[in-house]
Amino acid sequence: MAKKNVRIHALEGAEMTAEGLSYKGVIMETVVEKCDGCERVVEFEDKKYCPSYAQPAIKWAHSVCNFATHVRAGVDKEGKVKVNPLKASKRAARGR
Ligand code: SF4
User: CB of 51 closer than 6 A to ligand 1?
Assistant: no
The amino acid that residue 48 corresponds to is K
Asked if 60 and 32 count as a contact pair (C-beta separation under 8 A), the reply is yes
In ligand 1, the atom with minimum distance to the C-alpha of 59 is 7
Judged by DSSP in three states, 68 sits in: coil
Per-residue pLDDT reduced to its tens digit, 31-46: 999 999 999 999 999 9
Order of strands across the sheet with 15-17?
A: 15-17, 20-23, 26-28
Q: Could you tell me the pLDDT band of residue 2, with boundaries at 50, 70 and 90?
A: very low
In ligand 1, the atom with minimum distance to the C-alpha of 60 is 7
Q: Which residue has the higher pLDDT, 75 or 51?
A: 51
